[in-house]
Amino acid sequence: MAVTEGHRVSTRARKALVPGAVGRANPETVSSSSIGNKMKSRSLCYALSIGVAMLGGCGGSQPPTAMPQTSAGATHAGSGESWMLPEAKSKDLLYVSKLTRVLVYAYPTAKKVVGNLTGFDDASGLCSDRSGDVWVTDFQKSQVSEYAHGGTEPIAVLSDENDPIGCAVDPKSGDLAVANYADNVSIYAPGSGNPIIYTAPDFYFMEFCSYDGSGNLFIDGYRGTHEGHERSTILELSYGGTRLQRFKLEGRPRTKLRFPGGMQWDGKSLVVGYAGKYDSELYRISNLGRFGKITKRVTLTAPDGGFIPGEAPFVLYKGYIIGAYNVGTTQISNIAFWPYPGGGAAIKEFKVRGKYYPAGLALSVAPN
């Protein structure tokens, strides 16, 4: 599994063809290569994401309060421009990516939408860093944009023509990792637009990623050479390492995991999401190194007969699992809170505007 400097274009066969888009010109835009018109594809479910960066530990905070959806920001509706209520900058914020926009809710009440970021062709993964900045991957535009907490305009834009999906920020070094719809992951050092590309030639594509507290990177995706022959596999890039390595699991279940799911670090263990036959399951993996041991299975049940698709993103924050679920057989998706690590039935839920399953979730803590 090789590492190369700069940019390497994906050569994977595409499942369907969709016209690509030319990247927008933005202030402070940095690129590893120019963005041009191109053909792209993705026959992934709406749940594609990314893993999002976990903030905070498992504390003893009070359960979220009632969460009715209101029409906050109605004066901005239909404008097509990004907006944010003034109160947003002083609050913890939950970011939810929904195709062409990213909705922003105040956390933990989520009583109203406090912001709406637009201008995306396919907003996919979301992740945040310790300063509260939020990164948004745009699969179709081949861009990764950084927004300040509560901000409406990107403060930096990175080019990633390997088709970015998931992202995570290393709490130790500040490096940004981007899992690509290809056989590679891009690592951007703080302030750099030229990533180091780590490749795994036997991978079909990578999807979610997460750092642990020591700067080790874990990537979840499909191993295989073509559609129909993929196998869900976890890779590891150790801190200071130069090669991606298979991360093997011990215990039950072993490596027979159905679909790659979101990844988070809970302060002690790596937590990986996979879709079961009916419910969604999270696995806590301890004893990290070249091998990991599954020490706990957390089952999540969607409210009101809904279901949680495979490849679903989630966030861990102060004793809660924050994730999305589909309402029945509709295209309507809501956000729910489950106790962590207990799991089981959701404690609270709230409606999310618009169709399409959220591709990414991120919790941004308000700067002090």
Average pLDDT for 263-277: 83
Residue 149 in this model has a pLDDT that exceeds 60:
yes
359: alpha, beta or left, given left = phi > 0 and alpha = psi -120 to 50? alpha
Q: What is the DSSP letter of 314?
A: E
> For position 211, what pLDDT does the model report?
97
Residue 60 pLDDT class (50, 70, 90 cuts): very low
Average pLDDT for 27-50: 34
Residue 298 in this model has a pLDDT that exceeds 50:
yes
Between CA 25 and CA 149 the distance in angstroms is 22
Question: Would you say the pTM of this structure is higher than 0.75?
Answer: yes
Superfamily (CATH H level) for 45-364: TolB, C-terminal domain (2.120.10.30)
Residue 87 pLDDT class (50, 70, 90 cuts): very high
| Of residues 210 and 49, more confidently modeled | 210
Q: Are strands 270-275 and 320-326 parallel, antiparallel or unpaired?
A: unpaired
Between CA 272 and CA 365 the distance in angstroms is 22
Contact 97, 360 (CB under 8 A): yes
Q: In what helix (H) or strand (E) does residue 135 lie, and over which residues does it extend?
A: strand 134-138
Percent of the chain past pLDDT 90, that is, above it, reads 49
pLDDT digits (tens, 9 = 90+) for 332-354: 788 999 999 999 999 998 888 77
Between CA 109 and CA 87 the distance in angstroms is 13
Residue 79 pLDDT class (50, 70, 90 cuts): low
Bond from prior residue into 253 cis (ω within 30 degrees of 0): yes
| Of residues 50 and 196, more confidently modeled | 196
Residue 47 pLDDT class (50, 70, 90 cuts): very low
Between CA 268 and CA 275 the distance in angstroms is 23
